[in-house]
Amino acid sequence: MTTTAVLTHDTVAVGDQLPVLTYDVTATTVVVGALATRDTRPQHHDFHFATERNGVRDIFMNAPNQAAWFERYLTDWSGPHGRLGRVSFRMHDSVFPGDTMSMAGRITGTSIDDVGCGWVEVDVVLQVGDRMCTTCAARIALPTAPTDNPWSRKGDQWQPQPQT
């Protein structure tokens, strides 16, 4: 049996780079993402509407679909014990079928709050080639020790975990 090491707060530092995630976007990626988020606006599934009415080159990925990709990227990195505290993003350009999107992140801050929860601030950029499409800022709780689990902390019961 193999065990996966738990990513802990003390193993990361400001300036650390997260692994890059690349994904080849297809029309299915765009359409299914829009459907999953109940976004029926035609620019996310109707080529003629997108190109003729909106003046873009193709259908394009909607905001909730991009949010899901950011969440996937961050939770793939932080592992099952990482807990998203805040995610915000700003779209600068569209992501189209045929694009290869690339997500890269960098740790910009670390802290431990008053109740002992370890937090990591991460900036992420979604690019297509040299074109920056979306920027993201996130705050993620990471375990402070291998036996800590931010998911088990609840309400007033959030207590500092013993340091090992």
Write down the residue that tokens 């800590």 correspond to.
148
The whole-angstrom separation of Cα 123 and Cα 21 is 14
**Residue 77 domain-assigned (yes or no):** yes
In a domain, 155, yes or no: no
| Single-letter amino acid, residue 60 | F
3 domain residue, yes or no: no
- Any bridge partners for residue 112, and if so which? 118
* Residue 101 forms part of a structural domain: yes
On whether residue 156 sits in a domain, the answer given is: no
Tens of pLDDT along the chain (164 residues) come to: 344 678 999 999 999 999 999 999 999 999 998 989 888 887 888 788 888 998 989 989 999 999 999 999 999 999 999 999 999 999 999 999 999 999 999 999 999 988 888 999 999 999 999 999 999 999 999 999 988 888 887 655 555 445 44
The answer to the question of residue 160 being in a domain is no
Distance (Å, whole) CA 105 – CA 124: 4
90 domain-assigned: yes
- Phi, psi (deg, nearest 5) at residue 147: -90, -5
Q: Are 101 and 25 in contact (CB under 8 A)?
A: yes
CB 126 within 8 A of CB 102: yes
Unique residue bearing structure tokens 């375990």:
143
Q: Look at the chain and report how many structural domains it folds into.
A: 1
| Range(s) of the domain holding residue 77 | 9-150
Q: Does a structural domain hold residue 49?
A: yes
pTM beyond 0.85: the answer is: yes
- CATH code, domain with 80: 3.10.129.10
